[in-house]
Amino acid sequence: MLPARLRLSSAGLLLAALAIGLPAQAQTALPAKDAGATPADSSSTSRRLFGIEGLEAIGLGAGVVHFPAYRGARTTQTMVLPVPYLHYEGDFFKSDKYGMRGELFNNDRIELSISASLSPPTRGDVPERIGMPNLKPTVELGPQLDFTLIDGKTHPVNLRLRLPVRQAFTVERSPKNAGVVFSPNLNLDVPLGQWNLGMVTGPIFASRKQHAYFYDVAPEYASTSRPAYQAGAGYSGSQLLFSLSRKYRNLWFGSYIRYDSLHGAKFADSPLVAQKRYVTGGVALIGIYD
C-alpha cells in the first residue's frame, strides 16, 4: 500500500476556488491560519481554544461569487454565501488551508484524499434551456491522489500534482447518477510577504453521462434553433485559476479569478453552449477568533 494521508476537503463555496473554483462546480479549502503560510508552518505548537486541545482558531464570514449557470452558459449568477473558518491540529484529525483530513500515514510527498465538489441548480431563465427541465444541483465525491513536486518546507514555493476522480449524483429525493469527472491539475502556492498567491491549472475529462446531464438535447425538446444533440465522453475543456489571500490580525481576506475554456471539448458544439470561454471570480472576508 502506498504511504499516504486520508484527507476530506470541505466543499462549499468560493474560497476554495483557492483550490479549483466553481465550473459551476466548487471545491473549497479552508484559509490558512497565517497569511502566506507554507506547509512548514503546520508544525507549530498546538493550542487549546475553549478548552479543546488542538483547536487554534474559529471564524465566520461572507463571500460573494460570480459564475455561469453551468459551464458554457451565458447566463450568470451572483451569490452571497457564508464562509466558515476552522483551524484544528489534533493527533489524527486536522483542519487548515489544505482542508479537513485524517492523517493515516506520515508522508510529505504522497497524499490520498477524498475530493468533494458541487454544482448549483440552474434557474429557469437560461435562454438556451427554455422549455427544458431545470438542472438539479449535483454533488461529486471521490478519491484524490496528490504528489508534492516541490516541497514548501525546503523551497520558497509549494507545487502539487493533484489527481481527483469524482462520481457525481443529483441532489433530489431520488438521486440519479450524473457521471464521472477526472480533473488532473497543478496547484502552486507562492508566499508574497504577508500575502499568499495560488495558481491552479489543468484539463478536465468526464464520462458520457456527465456531459449528457448538462449538454444533451432530447428529441422532445428540440426546435429549429435547438436541434437534438448527444454529447460524447472525453475532454471537457481546461481551467486556469489565480487566488490571493491574506490574514491581518483577526481578519482573513481571499479572492480568486478563473479563466475557463471549452475549446475542443466533446460537447463544445452543443446548442446549450453559448460561450466557449469566460472569466469568473469571487471574494470573501472572514472574522477569526484565536
pLDDT of residue 20: 33
**What is the rounded distance in angstroms from the CA atom of residue 128 to the CA atom of residue 225?**
9
Confidence band of 101 (pLDDT split at 50, 70, 90): low
| Count of domains observed in the chain | 1
Is residue 59 in a domain? yes
Range of the domain at 157: 6-38+45-289
Is residue 1 in a domain? no
Over range 89-103, report the average pLDDT: 58
Is residue 152 in a domain? yes
pLDDT at 169 over 70: yes
What is the share, in percent, of the chain residues with pLDDT greater than 90?
53
Over range 189-209, report the average pLDDT: 95
Confidence band of 222 (pLDDT split at 50, 70, 90): very high
Is residue 104 in a domain? yes
Per residue in 125-146, pLDDT tens? Answer: 899 999 999 999 999 988 888 8
pLDDT of residue 263: 96
Is residue 52 in a domain? yes
Over range 47-51, report the average pLDDT: 67
Is residue 122 in a domain? yes
pLDDT at 100 over 80: no
Q: The domain that contains 185 carries what CATH number?
A: 2.40.128
pLDDT of residue 96: 58
* pTM for the model: 0.80
